[in-house]
Structure 1
């Protein structure tokens, strides 16, 4: 077969993968390996119609390199004749240098390794997948696509922190993340709602990781995440906005940087507030007051973030919900918008409950949309364009 492209999306403990053929935007086979490095891993595999395929039990999967080998073997059982000619990789951090997709060679891989301190919990997994894929498919083109690149259009003022200037030149600046998702939504808006896409838009990417992006003319103007993926909204296990004085206090009380990192990345957010779960579905189904408080905190965090970005845009004309919570949790969308009538936001309750593409009512001053995101198609488009 010709023109076969493998798309890889490495998360902190997961690997999403899909094979596309020629110009088709529907993967011939796709899957997910979860719980990497956490005991018995889980694998799910689907065919082009979305039907499950037998994938077996992978057992313990130590890292993302091993996960890729498991994925290749699973796909080969059903599609043994694939010849991968291109591989597109999601890379969390591109640093100050990488503002567009790039062909990966040894020099680029070395530069990506040097960025690890900027994303210590994400970049190593991306690199493990890259190394394994380059070894498995040495004759293929490998393209890196960056979550930070979409936000390089932000004005310099919105990249700055109010700390001594020399730190900006050393790389301490607001980078923003979820850029592959925002890129997809910007293009989807342009295709489906061209009149809205040129205006003042806020996209709410609400999942286990959550952020907001303010766009004008389809370009990033500002975003809630900053130097790291900890900033901004409360998330599944990440804290979001926090007074830096709290962190200094905890360190003065004897908490090490490793312990602090573990708390902020893995034990905070919805999990920390509820004490039970990082999954919004679990919290919404729970009768525990701590679960309700965690969900309410998340809603308030998003509302505050929307108001801040709307001020930076000078108003708001379109609000888009996307990602796991944004696409599927009608109750959370309703709670976020319920107290924002002062901004002109009014929901159509029935449309919201049914997850319609447009969920604002006819009298709303702000168009409110639900658009499922497809980061894989953003990566695929970059690969087909030549990286």
Structure 2
């Protein structure tokens, strides 16, 4: 089965056409607002898989899209305003261009369906939780699922206690115990957790309430938290490469932004290890996780007390998947290239073959 995978992210759109053996036949990428290239010049697929960030409690496995499913996906859009609308636009385009090809939705929230109640439950009134579905869903599940499988291949067996760091424009961590998600840093929406490119991450919930009571319109508060906060709010840019350049020039604002970024990253990573009861393997993936050796080294140094130690030479020279572990370190540290396209294609085949 030849599968076209469509992966709209918060800052990019990635499209791949995979053969039955997962060979990449064609690939394209560009800014998230540009959906035009997705079918141009590519061979005709047998099926299409579209990444959707939020599946709510409705969708915990890949599902073939029909009118009823599409309607529910639209209803979930306000829970992931940077992502879900882009996925819906991509869905509209591929169904218009390829109306006879089955389309399957694959969900980032699905990997976290195994979260235990203690990790998934907010301490909110029961009526709210039941009426509005207020709970922690978690995101980046397609990336975490692939990284979990790939780590097992690289190490010869699935690690018992693994923290995966998906670090990019959007960023989150996942505690994986024996292949299952048991804790993660994102929650009801992709706003919670780490400092990201333009998203604030976790803040005192009293802050937006205070701003609204003092006259800031709710839509403006939402837009600021989603698009004008995070590294952009701290340093004027959400581009980690540019912040790194400014920091090397001893720019005070950039240095302070990195301190805030790493303070949250260190604290959240330690929290994930607490949920696991220890740490066997640390994994970096995503644009920053794969390509920024300084971020990897700083977190490794911050977690040295847990047994994390990486080889400086391996850290700076790694290209693609690699093992960065220093000799004798009890915790293995890996870099794994994000391959959400493989996870989407696998989900498409499961959904259509089971139907």
TM-score in terms of structure 2 length: 0.93
Q: Confirm or deny that 1:372 pairs with 2:337.
A: yes
- Specify which of 310, 314, 336 is matched with residue 299 of structure 2: 336
Contact 2:32 2:86 in 1 (8 A): no
Contact 1:348 1:359 in 2 (8 A): yes
Contact 1:346 1:364 in 2 (8 A): yes
Contact 2:159 2:280 in 1 (8 A): no
SS of match in other structure, 2:47: strand
Gaps of 5+ in 1: 37-60, 62-66
Counterpart-to-counterpart distance in 2, 1:363 and 1:300: 27
- Specify which of 14, 34, 49 is matched with residue 88 of structure 1: 49
Deviates more, 1:204-213 or 1:340-349: 340-349
Counterpart-to-counterpart distance in 1, 2:9 and 2:145: 18
Q: Confirm or deny that 1:187 pairs with 2:185.
A: no
Contact 1:322 1:373 in 2 (8 A): yes
Counterpart-to-counterpart distance in 2, 1:204 and 1:212: 5
Shift of 1:354: 1.5
Contact 1:300 1:336 in 2 (8 A): no
After superposition, the C-alpha distances for 1:57-90 in whole angstroms (9 at most, x for unaligned) are xxxx6xxxxx24x4333x2xxx5xx332200100
Contact 1:280 1:295 in 2 (8 A): no
SS of match in other structure, 1:385: helix
SS of match in other structure, 2:274: helix
**Pairs aligned (count):** 346
Shift of 1:122: 1.9
- Specify which of 235, 260, 263 is matched with residue 300 of structure 1: 263
Shift of 1:35: 5.9
Counterpart-to-counterpart distance in 2, 1:72 and 1:344: 47
Which residue of structure 2 lines up, in the alignment, with residue 20 of structure 1? 18
Deviates more, 1:10-19 or 1:142-151: 10-19
Deviates more, 1:92-101 or 1:121-130: 121-130
Q: Confirm or deny that 1:72 pairs with 2:39.
A: yes
After superposition, the C-alpha distances for 1:315-360 in whole angstroms (9 at most, x for unaligned) are 1111101111111100111111112221121221111122271112
Counterpart-to-counterpart distance in 1, 2:88 and 2:59: 15
The residue correspondences of 1:114-193 to structure 2 (distance < 5 A) are 114-169=75-130, 170-193=132-155
CA 353–33 in structure 1, closer or farther in 2 if over 3 Å, else same: closer
Shift of 1:309: 1.0
Counterpart-to-counterpart distance in 1, 2:30 and 2:305: 44
Shift of 1:312: 1.0
- Specify which of 275, 281, 285 is matched with residue 312 of structure 1: 275
SS of match in other structure, 1:84: coil
Counterpart-to-counterpart distance in 2, 1:290 and 1:167: 40
The residue correspondences of 1:193-272 to structure 2 (distance < 5 A) are 193-195=155-157, 197-272=158-233
Contact 2:3 2:17 in 1 (8 A): yes
Contact 2:10 2:170 in 1 (8 A): no
Contact 2:50 2:104 in 1 (8 A): yes
Aligned Cα root-mean-square deviation (Å): 1.6
The runs of at least 4 consecutive aligned structure 1 residues that moved more than 2 Å come to: 11-15, 70-73, 384-387
Counterpart-to-counterpart distance in 1, 2:80 and 2:32: 20
Contact 2:175 2:276 in 1 (8 A): yes
After superposition, the C-alpha distances for 1:95-141 in whole angstroms (9 at most, x for unaligned) are 01100000111111111112123223321221121122122212111
Which residue of structure 1 lines up, in the alignment, with residue 349 of structure 2? 384
User: Which structure is higher in RCO with an 8 Å CA cutoff and minimum separation 6?
Assistant: 2
CA 149–332 in structure 1, closer or farther in 2 if over 3 Å, else same: same
Deviates more, 1:23-32 or 1:176-185: 23-32
